[in-house]
Chain A
Amino acid sequence: MSKANLLDRRQVVSALLANRKDVVAIGGLGASTNDITAAGDHARNFYLWGGMGGAAMIGLGLALAQPTLPVLVITGDGEMLMGMGSLATIGLQKPANLSIAVLDNEAYGETGGQTSHTSAAADLVGVARACGIKDSRAISTMAEVEAFAKAVHDLTAGPRFASVKIDSANLERILPTRDGTYILNRIRGDLGFQPI
Protein backbone atom coordinates (compact mmCIF):
# COMPACT_ATOMS: atom_id res chain seq x y z
CA MET A 1 0.00 0.00 0.00
CA SER A 2 1.10 3.53 -0.59
CA LYS A 3 -0.10 6.55 1.36
CA ALA A 4 -0.02 10.09 0.07
CA ASN A 5 2.86 12.48 0.75
CA LEU A 6 5.02 9.99 2.65
CA LEU A 7 8.78 10.39 2.52
CA ASP A 8 10.93 8.30 0.21
CA ARG A 9 13.23 6.02 2.20
CA ARG A 10 16.23 6.48 -0.10
CA GLN A 11 15.98 10.25 0.15
CA VAL A 12 15.66 10.04 3.93
CA VAL A 13 18.74 7.87 4.38
CA SER A 14 20.77 9.91 1.88
CA ALA A 15 19.92 13.02 3.88
CA LEU A 16 20.81 11.34 7.17
CA LEU A 17 24.24 10.37 5.83
CA ALA A 18 24.93 13.27 3.47
CA ASN A 19 27.36 15.05 5.79
CA ARG A 20 28.29 12.06 7.90
CA LYS A 21 31.96 12.86 8.64
CA ASP A 22 32.86 10.43 11.48
CA VAL A 23 29.46 8.80 11.90
CA VAL A 24 29.27 5.03 12.32
CA ALA A 25 26.01 3.93 10.67
CA ILE A 26 24.37 0.66 11.74
CA GLY A 27 21.67 -0.70 9.46
CA GLY A 28 19.09 -3.12 10.82
CA LEU A 29 18.34 -6.34 8.94
CA GLY A 30 16.31 -5.63 5.84
CA ALA A 31 15.62 -2.62 3.70
CA SER A 32 17.44 -0.06 5.87
CA THR A 33 20.73 -1.84 5.20
CA ASN A 34 19.98 -1.58 1.47
CA ASP A 35 19.20 2.11 1.89
CA ILE A 36 22.53 2.75 3.62
CA THR A 37 24.33 0.90 0.83
CA ALA A 38 22.47 2.94 -1.77
CA ALA A 39 23.68 6.12 -0.06
CA GLY A 40 27.25 4.92 -0.64
CA ASP A 41 29.44 2.17 0.78
CA HIS A 42 31.62 3.36 3.65
CA ALA A 43 34.19 1.78 5.97
CA ARG A 44 32.08 2.81 8.96
CA ASN A 45 28.89 1.16 7.75
CA PHE A 46 27.76 -1.75 9.92
CA TYR A 47 25.47 -3.79 7.68
CA LEU A 48 23.30 -6.36 9.43
CA TRP A 49 22.06 -9.42 7.58
CA GLY A 50 20.73 -11.05 10.76
CA GLY A 51 20.43 -10.52 14.48
CA MET A 52 16.88 -9.19 14.13
CA GLY A 53 16.13 -6.94 17.08
CA GLY A 54 19.80 -6.27 17.87
CA ALA A 55 20.61 -3.16 15.82
CA ALA A 56 19.99 -0.64 18.61
CA MET A 57 22.05 -2.63 21.12
CA ILE A 58 24.96 -2.92 18.70
CA GLY A 59 24.70 0.85 18.49
CA LEU A 60 24.76 1.14 22.28
CA GLY A 61 27.86 -1.08 22.63
CA LEU A 62 29.68 0.99 20.03
CA ALA A 63 28.55 4.33 21.49
CA LEU A 64 29.71 3.36 24.98
CA ALA A 65 33.07 2.16 23.66
CA GLN A 66 33.54 5.34 21.60
CA PRO A 67 31.83 8.16 23.51
CA THR A 68 33.30 10.89 21.30
CA LEU A 69 32.04 9.30 18.08
CA PRO A 70 28.54 9.86 16.65
CA VAL A 71 26.73 6.54 16.25
CA LEU A 72 23.58 6.35 14.13
CA VAL A 73 21.32 3.29 14.03
CA ILE A 74 19.04 3.25 10.98
CA THR A 75 16.50 0.47 11.21
CA GLY A 76 12.94 -0.49 10.39
CA ASP A 77 9.79 -0.58 12.49
CA GLY A 78 9.69 -4.39 12.52
CA GLU A 79 13.30 -4.69 13.64
CA MET A 80 12.82 -2.03 16.32
CA LEU A 81 9.65 -3.72 17.59
CA MET A 82 11.59 -6.96 18.00
CA GLY A 83 14.13 -5.18 20.21
CA MET A 84 11.79 -2.68 21.86
CA GLY A 85 13.11 -3.50 25.34
CA SER A 86 16.51 -2.17 24.29
CA LEU A 87 15.02 1.33 24.32
CA ALA A 88 14.71 0.95 28.10
CA THR A 89 18.32 -0.21 28.34
CA ILE A 90 19.46 2.76 26.25
CA GLY A 91 17.29 5.16 28.26
CA LEU A 92 19.03 3.93 31.41
CA GLN A 93 22.56 4.28 30.01
CA LYS A 94 21.94 7.65 28.32
CA PRO A 95 24.72 7.45 25.69
CA ALA A 96 24.90 11.07 24.55
CA ASN A 97 26.42 10.13 21.19
CA LEU A 98 23.77 7.60 20.10
CA SER A 99 20.96 8.36 17.65
CA ILE A 100 18.32 5.93 16.39
CA ALA A 101 16.24 6.55 13.27
CA VAL A 102 13.40 4.14 12.54
CA LEU A 103 12.22 4.09 8.93
CA ASP A 104 8.59 3.34 9.68
CA ASN A 105 6.60 2.06 6.72
CA GLU A 106 4.24 0.24 9.09
CA ALA A 107 4.98 -3.02 7.30
CA TYR A 108 7.34 -6.00 7.22
CA GLY A 109 8.67 -5.15 3.78
CA GLU A 110 11.32 -7.87 3.71
CA THR A 111 8.81 -10.67 4.22
CA GLY A 112 6.01 -9.57 1.93
CA GLY A 113 4.48 -6.37 3.24
CA GLN A 114 2.51 -7.63 6.23
CA THR A 115 1.37 -4.72 8.37
CA SER A 116 3.37 -4.10 11.54
CA HIS A 117 2.07 -3.02 14.93
CA THR A 118 3.03 0.58 14.14
CA SER A 119 0.23 0.72 11.59
CA ALA A 120 -2.19 0.47 14.52
CA ALA A 121 -1.74 1.33 18.19
CA ALA A 122 2.02 0.94 18.66
CA ASP A 123 3.72 4.32 19.02
CA LEU A 124 7.50 3.85 18.97
CA VAL A 125 8.14 7.53 19.68
CA GLY A 126 5.96 7.27 22.78
CA VAL A 127 7.79 4.12 23.86
CA ALA A 128 11.21 5.72 23.42
CA ARG A 129 10.17 8.80 25.37
CA ALA A 130 8.63 6.72 28.16
CA CYS A 131 11.89 4.74 28.36
CA GLY A 132 13.79 7.92 29.13
CA ILE A 133 14.95 8.97 25.66
CA LYS A 134 13.69 12.52 26.03
CA ASP A 135 14.57 13.66 22.52
CA SER A 136 12.14 11.42 20.65
CA ARG A 137 10.68 12.77 17.44
CA ALA A 138 7.91 11.85 15.04
CA ILE A 139 9.28 12.94 11.66
CA SER A 140 7.19 13.48 8.55
CA THR A 141 9.04 16.12 6.49
CA MET A 142 12.46 16.31 4.86
CA ALA A 143 13.17 19.47 6.85
CA GLU A 144 12.73 17.46 10.03
CA VAL A 145 14.98 14.69 8.63
CA GLU A 146 17.70 17.24 7.91
CA ALA A 147 17.37 18.71 11.40
CA PHE A 148 17.78 15.23 12.89
CA ALA A 149 20.81 14.54 10.68
CA LYS A 150 22.42 17.71 11.98
CA ALA A 151 21.57 16.77 15.59
CA VAL A 152 23.31 13.39 15.20
CA HIS A 153 26.62 15.25 15.46
CA ASP A 154 25.73 16.83 18.80
CA LEU A 155 27.52 14.51 21.21
CA THR A 156 26.21 16.24 24.32
CA ALA A 157 22.45 16.10 23.92
CA GLY A 158 21.72 12.47 23.09
CA PRO A 159 20.48 9.84 23.08
CA ARG A 160 17.88 10.70 20.49
CA PHE A 161 15.24 8.73 18.66
CA ALA A 162 13.15 9.38 15.59
CA SER A 163 10.39 7.54 13.82
CA VAL A 164 10.31 8.63 10.19
CA LYS A 165 7.06 7.75 8.44
CA ILE A 166 7.97 6.56 4.96
CA ASP A 167 6.29 5.21 1.88
CA SER A 168 6.03 1.43 1.91
CA ALA A 169 7.00 1.04 -1.75
CA ASN A 170 9.57 -1.73 -2.20
CA LEU A 171 12.61 -0.30 -3.93
CA GLU A 172 15.38 -2.04 -5.83
CA ARG A 173 17.65 -3.87 -3.43
CA ILE A 174 21.16 -2.43 -3.29
CA LEU A 175 23.06 -5.19 -1.55
CA PRO A 176 26.13 -4.65 0.63
CA THR A 177 28.75 -7.31 1.34
CA ARG A 178 27.44 -10.29 3.33
CA ASP A 179 30.83 -11.00 4.93
CA GLY A 180 30.29 -10.18 8.60
CA THR A 181 33.94 -10.57 9.55
CA TYR A 182 34.91 -8.08 6.85
CA ILE A 183 32.19 -5.65 7.94
CA LEU A 184 33.27 -5.70 11.59
CA ASN A 185 37.03 -5.62 10.99
CA ARG A 186 36.70 -2.81 8.44
CA ILE A 187 34.96 -0.66 11.05
CA ARG A 188 37.52 -1.56 13.70
CA GLY A 189 40.34 -0.83 11.26
CA ASP A 190 38.87 2.55 10.42
CA LEU A 191 38.75 3.28 14.17
CA GLY A 192 42.42 2.34 14.51
CA PHE A 193 42.15 -1.20 15.92
CA GLN A 194 44.25 -3.98 14.46
CA PRO A 195 43.05 -7.56 14.08
CA ILE A 196 44.12 -9.61 17.10
Chain B
Amino acid sequence: MHARTDAADTAPTWPDDIFATLQRFDVRQVPYVPDAGHSKLILRVLDSPAMRGIPLTTEEEGVALLAGAWAGGQRGVLLMQSSGVGNCINMLSLIPILRFPFLTLVTMRGEWGEFNPWQVPMGSTTQGVLELSGIKVLRASNAAEVPAVLEAAAAQAYNALTPTAVLLSQRLIGAKVFTK
Protein backbone atom coordinates (compact mmCIF):
# COMPACT_ATOMS: atom_id res chain seq x y z
CA MET B 1 0.00 0.00 0.00
CA HIS B 2 1.14 3.52 -0.70
CA ALA B 3 -0.05 6.91 0.50
CA ARG B 4 -1.12 9.69 -1.85
CA THR B 5 -0.23 13.25 -1.03
CA ASP B 6 -3.53 14.58 -2.32
CA ALA B 7 -5.87 11.83 -1.17
CA ALA B 8 -9.48 12.93 -1.37
CA ASP B 9 -12.04 12.33 1.36
CA THR B 10 -14.12 10.25 -1.04
CA ALA B 11 -13.10 7.86 -3.79
CA PRO B 12 -12.50 9.69 -7.08
CA THR B 13 -15.42 9.75 -9.52
CA TRP B 14 -13.49 10.76 -12.63
CA PRO B 15 -12.94 7.10 -13.65
CA ASP B 16 -16.74 6.75 -13.75
CA ASP B 17 -16.88 9.72 -16.10
CA ILE B 18 -14.38 8.00 -18.37
CA PHE B 19 -16.34 4.77 -18.25
CA ALA B 20 -19.59 6.52 -19.16
CA THR B 21 -17.95 8.15 -22.17
CA LEU B 22 -16.45 4.87 -23.38
CA GLN B 23 -19.87 3.24 -23.10
CA ARG B 24 -21.53 6.02 -25.03
CA PHE B 25 -19.01 5.61 -27.86
CA ASP B 26 -19.62 1.84 -27.99
CA VAL B 27 -16.10 0.83 -26.99
CA ARG B 28 -15.93 -2.98 -26.83
CA GLN B 29 -12.31 -4.09 -26.40
CA VAL B 30 -10.23 -2.59 -23.61
CA PRO B 31 -6.64 -3.83 -23.57
CA TYR B 32 -4.60 -2.72 -20.57
CA VAL B 33 -1.50 -3.35 -18.56
CA PRO B 34 -2.65 -3.37 -14.92
CA ASP B 35 -2.02 0.01 -13.32
CA ALA B 36 -3.09 1.57 -10.02
CA GLY B 37 -4.17 4.84 -11.62
CA HIS B 38 -6.53 2.98 -13.95
CA SER B 39 -7.64 0.39 -11.41
CA LYS B 40 -11.14 1.73 -10.81
CA LEU B 41 -11.81 2.11 -14.52
CA ILE B 42 -10.47 -1.40 -15.16
CA LEU B 43 -12.86 -2.81 -12.55
CA ARG B 44 -15.78 -1.01 -14.20
CA VAL B 45 -14.79 -2.45 -17.57
CA LEU B 46 -14.40 -5.99 -16.21
CA ASP B 47 -17.87 -5.73 -14.62
CA SER B 48 -19.47 -4.52 -17.85
CA PRO B 49 -21.19 -7.12 -20.05
CA ALA B 50 -20.73 -4.85 -23.08
CA MET B 51 -16.96 -4.52 -22.77
CA ARG B 52 -14.08 -6.96 -22.65
CA GLY B 53 -11.07 -6.08 -20.53
CA ILE B 54 -7.92 -7.72 -21.91
CA PRO B 55 -4.79 -7.83 -19.73
CA LEU B 56 -1.62 -7.54 -21.83
CA THR B 57 1.93 -8.63 -21.13
CA THR B 58 3.21 -5.40 -22.68
CA GLU B 59 1.52 -2.29 -23.97
CA GLU B 60 2.42 -2.56 -27.66
CA GLU B 61 0.26 -5.69 -27.85
CA GLY B 62 -2.70 -3.37 -27.34
CA VAL B 63 -1.96 -1.29 -30.42
CA ALA B 64 -1.98 -4.37 -32.66
CA LEU B 65 -5.07 -5.71 -30.87
CA LEU B 66 -7.02 -2.51 -31.63
CA ALA B 67 -6.11 -2.82 -35.31
CA GLY B 68 -7.52 -6.35 -35.38
CA ALA B 69 -10.60 -5.30 -33.42
CA TRP B 70 -11.38 -2.57 -35.94
CA ALA B 71 -10.82 -4.95 -38.86
CA GLY B 72 -13.45 -7.12 -37.19
CA GLY B 73 -15.85 -4.23 -36.60
CA GLN B 74 -15.20 -3.21 -32.99
CA ARG B 75 -13.83 -0.08 -31.34
CA GLY B 76 -11.29 -0.26 -28.56
CA VAL B 77 -9.30 1.86 -26.15
CA LEU B 78 -5.82 1.16 -24.75
CA LEU B 79 -5.17 1.86 -21.07
CA MET B 80 -1.58 2.28 -19.92
CA GLN B 81 0.91 4.22 -17.87
CA SER B 82 3.43 6.66 -19.30
CA SER B 83 6.19 4.07 -19.13
CA GLY B 84 4.07 1.87 -21.39
CA VAL B 85 4.03 4.53 -24.10
CA GLY B 86 7.74 3.89 -24.45
CA ASN B 87 7.02 0.23 -25.20
CA CYS B 88 4.69 1.09 -28.09
CA ILE B 89 6.71 3.24 -30.43
CA ASN B 90 7.23 0.97 -33.42
CA MET B 91 3.76 -0.58 -33.16
CA LEU B 92 2.26 2.93 -33.33
CA SER B 93 3.39 2.95 -36.96
CA LEU B 94 0.40 0.71 -37.71
CA ILE B 95 -2.01 3.57 -37.02
CA PRO B 96 -1.35 5.91 -39.97
CA ILE B 97 -0.71 2.95 -42.30
CA LEU B 98 -3.91 1.06 -41.50
CA ARG B 99 -5.85 4.14 -40.46
CA PHE B 100 -7.92 2.66 -37.64
CA PRO B 101 -9.42 4.62 -34.73
CA PHE B 102 -6.89 4.80 -31.90
CA LEU B 103 -7.56 6.16 -28.42
CA THR B 104 -5.25 5.66 -25.47
CA LEU B 105 -5.62 6.86 -21.88
CA VAL B 106 -2.27 7.32 -20.17
CA THR B 107 -1.76 7.65 -16.43
CA MET B 108 1.27 9.87 -15.95
CA ARG B 109 4.39 9.38 -13.89
CA GLY B 110 7.57 11.40 -13.69
CA GLU B 111 6.11 14.86 -14.05
CA TRP B 112 4.70 16.08 -10.72
CA GLY B 113 5.83 15.20 -7.23
CA GLU B 114 7.57 12.06 -8.48
CA PHE B 115 9.76 10.25 -5.95
CA ASN B 116 11.25 7.65 -8.31
CA PRO B 117 13.88 9.13 -10.66
CA TRP B 118 13.66 6.09 -12.96
CA GLN B 119 10.16 7.20 -13.98
CA VAL B 120 11.21 10.71 -14.92
CA PRO B 121 12.92 10.17 -18.32
CA MET B 122 9.93 8.45 -19.92
CA GLY B 123 7.38 10.56 -18.07
CA SER B 124 9.09 13.73 -19.25
CA THR B 125 9.05 12.66 -22.88
CA THR B 126 5.67 10.93 -23.14
CA GLN B 127 3.96 13.83 -24.87
CA GLY B 128 6.85 14.39 -27.25
CA VAL B 129 7.06 10.72 -28.21
CA LEU B 130 3.32 10.54 -28.86
CA GLU B 131 3.30 13.69 -30.97
CA LEU B 132 6.31 12.53 -32.99
CA SER B 133 4.34 9.32 -33.63
CA GLY B 134 1.47 11.36 -35.08
CA ILE B 135 -0.85 11.16 -32.09
CA LYS B 136 -2.75 14.20 -30.82
CA VAL B 137 -2.26 14.73 -27.11
CA LEU B 138 -4.91 16.07 -24.75
CA ARG B 139 -4.49 16.40 -21.01
CA ALA B 140 -6.71 16.27 -17.93
CA SER B 141 -5.06 17.86 -14.90
CA ASN B 142 -8.00 17.78 -12.51
CA ALA B 143 -11.21 15.82 -12.06
CA ALA B 144 -13.42 18.61 -13.38
CA GLU B 145 -11.64 18.49 -16.74
CA VAL B 146 -12.02 14.77 -17.28
CA PRO B 147 -15.54 14.57 -18.80
CA ALA B 148 -14.98 17.25 -21.43
CA VAL B 149 -11.49 16.05 -22.31
CA LEU B 150 -12.67 12.45 -22.69
CA GLU B 151 -15.64 13.51 -24.79
CA ALA B 152 -13.40 15.50 -27.14
CA ALA B 153 -10.81 12.73 -27.34
CA ALA B 154 -13.31 9.97 -28.09
CA ALA B 155 -15.14 12.11 -30.63
CA GLN B 156 -12.03 12.91 -32.62
CA ALA B 157 -10.60 9.38 -32.33
CA TYR B 158 -13.74 7.50 -33.39
CA ASN B 159 -15.51 10.05 -35.59
CA ALA B 160 -12.55 11.74 -37.27
CA LEU B 161 -9.99 8.91 -37.20
CA THR B 162 -7.61 11.25 -35.39
CA PRO B 163 -5.35 9.12 -33.19
CA THR B 164 -5.55 10.60 -29.71
CA ALA B 165 -3.91 10.17 -26.33
CA VAL B 166 -5.34 11.58 -23.12
CA LEU B 167 -2.69 12.18 -20.51
CA LEU B 168 -4.21 11.80 -17.05
CA SER B 169 -1.92 14.09 -15.11
CA GLN B 170 0.10 12.88 -12.17
CA ARG B 171 -1.53 15.75 -10.33
CA LEU B 172 -4.89 14.11 -11.02
CA ILE B 173 -3.71 10.58 -10.26
CA GLY B 174 -1.73 11.54 -7.18
CA ALA B 175 2.01 11.20 -6.71
CA LYS B 176 3.17 7.99 -5.04
CA VAL B 177 5.22 8.36 -1.89
CA PHE B 178 7.26 5.37 -0.75
CA THR B 179 9.96 7.27 1.10
CA LYS B 180 9.62 8.30 4.72
A interface residues (Cβ-Cβ under 8 A, vs B):
24, 26, 46, 49-55, 57-66, 69, 83, 85-86, 88-89, 92-93, 180-181, 183-184, 187-188, 191-193, 196
Question: Smallest distance from the beta carbon of A23 to chain B beta carbons, Å?
Answer: 13
Would you call B105 an interface residue if the criterion is a C-beta within 8 Å of the partner chain's C-beta atoms? no
**A193 contacts across to B, CB distance below 8 A:** 73
Main secondary structure of the interface of B (DSSP, over half): helix
Find out whether the CB atom of A196 lies under 8 angstroms from the CB atom of B56.
no
Chain B residues with CB under 8 Å of chain A are: 28-29, 52, 54-58, 60-74, 76, 90-91, 93-94, 97-100, 159, 161
A62 to B61, Cβ gap below 8 A? no
A58 contact from B55, B57, B68, B93, Cβ within 8 A: B68
Contact of B71 among A51, A184, A192 (CB under 8 A): A184
Q: Are A85 and B58 in contact (CB under 8 A)?
A: yes
Name the CB-closest residue of A to B68. A61
Task: Check A54/B91 contact, CB under 8 A, given A65-B28, A85-B61, A184-B100.
Answer: yes
- Given A58-B71, A180-B97, A184-B99, A86–B61 Cβ distance below 8 Å? yes
Known: A24-B72, A181-B98. 6 other contacts (CB 8 A): A62-B71, A65-B68, A65-B71, A184-B98, A187-B71, A188-B70
Give Cα distance in the complex from A55 to B60, angstroms. 12
Contacting A65 at CB < 8 Å: which of B62, B64, B74? B74
Which residues of the other chain, B, contact A69 by a CB distance below 8 angstroms? 72
Contact in complex: B71, A61 (CB < 8 Å): yes
Query: How many Å lie between the Cα of A50 and that of B62 in the bound state?
Result: 16
Are B54 and A93 within 8 A (Cβ)? Answer: yes
Chain A residues with CB under 8 A of B67:
51, 54, 58, 61, 184
Q: Given that A51-B94, A58-B64, A184-B99 are known contacts, is A191 also in contact with B57, CB under 8 Å in the complex? A: no
Once bound together, how far apart are the Cα atoms of A50 and B98, in whole Å?
A: 10
Q: Chain A's nearest CB lies how many Å from the CB of B141? A: 31
A64-B29, A181-B98, A181-B99 given; A54·B60 CB < 8 A = yes
22 contacts between A and B (CB under 8 A): A51-B91, A54-B64, A55-B64, A57-B64, A58-B68, A60-B54, A61-B67, A61-B68, A62-B71, A64-B52, A64-B54, A65-B68, A65-B72, A83-B61, A85-B57, A86-B61, A184-B67, A184-B71, A184-B100, A187-B71, A191-B72, A192-B73
